[in-house]
Amino acid sequence: MTEKTQGGFLISQIKQISGRIFDKLLVGSGIEAFNRAQGRILYVLWQADGVPIVELSHKTGLAKTTLTSMLDRMESADLITRVFDKTDRRQIRIALTEKSRQLSDAYDKVSREMNEIFYAGFTDDEIFAFEETLGRILKNLNEKERRT
């Protein structure tokens, strides 16, 4: 393996800069009900509502302790609600509110705009190869985290 690689450093920079741009796009689109981190949670819920906290943690990459405090704030802002599972009352599912459902289309528009910025000048093949590579890196990191 090459000794002087910068992948982790570049990913960190991309995350920081793209986050700032995404925040500006959210505000520019009139979405002030939630921040980008909360948007990750809502994005998962817009794909499948009523997700258990453990699954939400896995899908967002957020630690359960971080997620719990974020969910508290989101519940106070009427973006989510906690619902007891009908078959197992020990398990709590996170569900969307009507307020957050109404924000889905605006968020999707911002996400499309972000993708246009992110992939400007890329071919479809380059995008596919890039995302496949990132998926492999994520798999490696998840496996390492499970072993430690």
Q: Which two tokens stand for residue 50?
A: 């009523």
Q: pLDDT tens digits for 52-81?
A: 998 999 899 888 889 999 999 999 999 999
Q: pLDDT tens digits for 19-29?
A: 999 999 999 99
pLDDT in the model for residue 142: 87
**Residue that has been written with the tokens 């519940």 in this structure:** 75
| DSSP reduced 3-state for 52 | strand
DSSP string covering 30-48, please? T--SS-HHHHHHHHHHHHS
- Write down the pTM of the prediction: 0.80
